[in-house]
Amino acid sequence: MRLIIMGPPGAGKGTQARFIAEHFGIPAISTGDIFRANVSQGTPLGVEAKKYMDAGEYVPDEVTNLMVRNRIDEDDAVSGFLLDGYPRTLAQVEELDGMINFTGHRLDAVVVLTVDQDEIVQRLLQRAEVEGRADDTEDVVRRRQEVYLEQTSPLIEVYKSRDLVHEVDGMGEVDEVTARIFAALDVVPQS
């Protein structure tokens, strides 16, 4: 199973990604989490990525693509993966196509979480307080939404043209959203 979860920053992708990945027995690969781990360990990748993350901008494609390529080459991702936060640009879509085609597999589905913009900003500001993320100040939150609209939302049309998109209402309780995602992916609920 090869899946992507998309949606604006704060849509709850990370939380839902964990449930989906667990269900399918595949790793949830979050580029944001990998970058943050590198930042906190002070690796050269982290030092490079931090400049962009703190400003709410995207890390350059070459850096991000190489990181994802290395990650999905790892053993646990051989039978599939769920990508959270990648691809985010058209160039990343092409790169991912190449990576998946190379292994003779295909992308199975793209889950797109739809949410209310105002509620998202509230969620992110709340998360800033709880987690103290440097990229969750109000200006940066706004910039991240803009960058998503400009650079990432066009990807939805690309995947729609391939008939891969499942749009799911991301508003409401976490378990309600999970149930909607599973219904969209035709996962039969377990009693």
What amino acid positions are annotated as catalytic residues?
13, 88, 127, 133, 144
- Choose one: 27-35, 95-103, 120-128, 181-189; the region binding ligand AMP (CB under 6 A): 27-35
What strand order describes the sheet that includes 81-84? 28-30, 81-84, 2-6, 109-114, 165-169
- Residue 52's Cα: distance from chain center in Å? 17
Touching ligand AMP, residues 55-84 (CB under 6 A) = 56, 58-59, 64
Q: Which of 7, 8, 9, 170 binds ligand AMP (CB under 6 A)?
A: 9
Nearer to ligand AMP, 64 or 178 (CB): 64
**Binding residues for ligand AMP, total number by CB under 6 A:** 16
Residue 180 · residue 43 · CB < 8 Å? no
- Closest CB 187 distance from ligand AMP, rounded Å: 24
Instruction: Give the number of other Cβ atoms within 10 Å of residue 50's Cβ.
Output: 19
Touching ligand AMP, residues 134-163 (CB under 6 A) = 135, 144
* 34-49 per-residue burial string, b: 16 or more CB within 10 A, e: under 16: bbbebbeeeeebbebb
